[in-house]
Amino acid sequence: MSAKNSQQKREKEKQVIDQMIAIYCRKNHRHLHKENGLCSACEELRRYARMRVDRCPFMETKSFCSQCKVHCYQPKMQEEIRKVMRFSGPRMLLYHPGMAIWHMISTLKG
C-alpha cells in the first residue's frame, strides 16, 4: 500500500469514528452538547481516537482497530469506544449508509 493510500485510509477511518461518536453523543448526551455538537467527554474520546489512528503503525495491514491484535487504547478509552461502536454501528446504516457499507466491506476484506 502506498503512503498516499495509507493516508487516505487513515482519513476515512477518522471520518467513521467522528460520525459514530457524533451519533452516540447526539442520542445519549443531548443535554450536554456544546456548540460543536459534542459534549466534552465525547470530544475528548474523538480527539483520542483520531490521535491513535494517526499514530497507528499497522495502518497498511489492518482493517480497523477492533480487528487489530495490538490494542493501543488505554483501558478506559477502549471501553468508551466499544460502547460508542456498539450503539452507533447499527445506526450508521440509517444516518450514513455509504460509510457503513464501506466499513463493512473493509472489515470483511481485513
The C-alpha atoms of residue 94 and residue 86 are separated, in whole angstroms, by 15
State residue 36's pLDDT score: 66
* The pLDDT of residue 10: 86
- What are the residues whose beta carbons fall under 8 Å from the beta carbon of 19, sequence distance 6 or more? 88, 92, 95, 96, 99
Counting DSSP H helices and E strands in the chain, the numbers are 4, 0
* 38 DSSP assignment: S
The string of pLDDT tens digits covering residues 38-74 is: 999 999 999 999 999 998 887 777 666 666 777 788 9
User: Which pLDDT belongs to residue 75?
Assistant: 92
- Taking phi over 0 as left and psi of -120 to 50 as alpha, with beta for the rest, 49 belongs to alpha
State mean pLDDT over 70-79: 88
pTM across the whole model: 0.84
Mean pLDDT over residues 8-31, rounded? Answer: 89
Does residue 99 surpass a pLDDT of 70?
yes
- The mean per-residue pLDDT over the stretch 68-94 comes to 90
| 41 vs 62: CA distance, rounded Å | 27
Look at residue 62 in the predicted model and tell me its pLDDT.
67
